[in-house]
Structure 1
């Protein structure tokens, strides 16, 4: 892994594959880290002929953050008072542009998952000359009438910071079980392994709260997405409890010519059983680009 200076922050990143191959940048979701893109998944993409880059967003993993801004008032933000929003998705999209600058990459295929899909969409809107293709996975447009979560999944978002490592890990396991794919459930051992790896690498609940505020404080992207010209695919789980599939359908409807791939039985995760279908969709869209 390495560190790049981007948009006033230090971003931790890692790349796979031929350095001279077409670059494909992966953007992860809320509070997630680059290790949430499974290593074998990245290697599978690299095997299709891409230079695959995964990185920690601002305020997550080992990347720089804005702890000096404190914890936003989510009650006020969700009530319409945006005064405590520390930054917006457009700032996170600018981080992506800065990372590409640091890596001397002019254009890349952009793949985003959940919040990362929102950042990828914003990047396509803000930096149209720097994107070759767009893949938005289990994400939504910012339209507050689509992509709604179930009460159980919403409780995952509202959980307070854990007071200990053990509780943080247990919460991670439970959260993954709640939002995961009902048709492709991961074993308890695998969920424990993932949660432990994430907590031991970095546990940053205040950063996650600031990212959540960025989502809540950013405008609807529907109109902007109508101007996206690059080949695009929208991938969503039919059983996603955290961002309902209506969010994916709305995203595909907003982007001219976008392909929609709805995977039966998939929730809000990247189950191994769906990797071939997801990688195929990313690859054929990138080749169109």
Structure 2
């Protein structure tokens, strides 16, 4: 069962937090909970409950999920002007409140850069990272950042480059473009990953603040360099991805020291999550080594 709670921060903001494990810190202090804690980073626009399709296999592996709504989504207060790195400070507040010491991170789509941010900012606490279908930074050397994006997605991020007003104006008239997903993606959304449709609907229920702030953060300086991440990193990407083209994952894998790339040539943005359970096994193995 996933427990939901709201955490009030010193700056007055609220973070909505989700936890599949005990709410009370273990008596011996942070880091004493059995099994591996994985902090989930959601995509854009989603809310933060941990990935429902992975909960049953996680229980069998002793994995506890912790996650949060990023600022502006669901029950979390907005944080205008946030960059990608800012999520790390919020994650630190969450895991401290839950009595968690060291943990792994996993993110999909827009959650990928935020997972990497945690590893960069919290090197003594992040054990390993899975970055699934994640964007590369906008200043990625040698990468044609927009090449291969579906037209609707490209229009959105180009509007973000022009600034908040341009992005808000575009989103006010935007309609969902099913062509950004492959046939395999649509099959995954209709089947094992239908849960993503639910959290995407919930992500837009409280307005567009979270989505706007996410998109502006992706195309602005991130506040860290992926090259500085030292935790073990698995980059999981579909070769047919039309939302975040595979070149982004390839760039990340080449830039992050020691990163491992699982490029799935036949998969798109969603269907690549068919390898998510194997990615959990990878996290467990890497975490045990540290």
Residue 213 of structure 2 corresponds to residue 214 of structure 1: no
Note the alpha carbon deviations across 1:182-207, whole angstroms, 9 max, x for none. Answer: 33423886699864664357332122
Contact in 2 for aligned 1:181/1:271 (Cα 8 Å): no
Task: Tell whether the 8 Å contact from 1:16 to 1:43 is kept in structure 2 after alignment.
Answer: no
Find the counterpart in structure 2 of residue 16 from structure 1. Answer: 20
- Unaligned 5+ segments in structure 2 are 23-32, 158-166
1:180 and 1:266 in contact (8 A); partners too: no
Distance 1:105 1:267, change over 3 A: same
Within 5 A, what are the aligned runs for 1:44-83?
Answer: 44-66=57-79
Instruction: Judge conservation of contact 1:146–1:244 (CA < 8 Å) in 2.
Output: no
- Give, in whole Å, the separation in 1 of the partners of 2:194 and 2:234: 32
- Pick from 199, 208, 215: which aligns with 2:201? 199
User: Which of the numbers 22, 39, 50 marks the counterpart of 1:25?
Assistant: 39
Q: Give the gaps of 5 or more residues in structure 1.
A: 70-85, 163-167
CA distance in 2, matches of 1:214, 1:34: 18
| Cα deviation 1:56-83 (Å, max 9, x = unaligned) | 11111222214xx5xxxxxxxxxxxxxx
Which of 121, 124, 142 is the aligned partner of 2:119?
124
The DSSP-based 3-state class of the residue aligned with 1:88 is: coil
Q: Give 1:217 shift.
A: 1.9
Bigger mean CA offset, 231-240 vs 10-19: 10-19
Selected match of 1:104 from 89, 96, 99:
99
How far apart, in 2, do the equivalents of 1:197 and 1:88 lie? 22
Q: Which residue of 1 aligns with 2:235?
A: 234
Distance 2:237 2:107 in 1: 12
Structure 2 counterpart of 1:153: 153
CA gap of 1:7–1:41, structure 2 versus 1, over 3 A, is: farther
Give the Cα–Cα distance (whole angstroms) in 2 for the partners of residues 13 and 52 of structure 1.
11
**SS of equivalent residue, structure 1 residue 242:** coil
User: SS state of the match for residue 94, structure 1?
Assistant: helix
**Does the Cα contact within 8 Å between 1:182 and 1:239 map onto a contact in 2?**
no
What SS does the aligned partner of 1:128 have? coil
Provide closer, same or farther for how the CA distance between residues 271 and 230 of structure 1 changes in structure 2, counting only shifts above 3 A.
Answer: closer
**Number of matched pairs:** 258
RMSD: 3.0
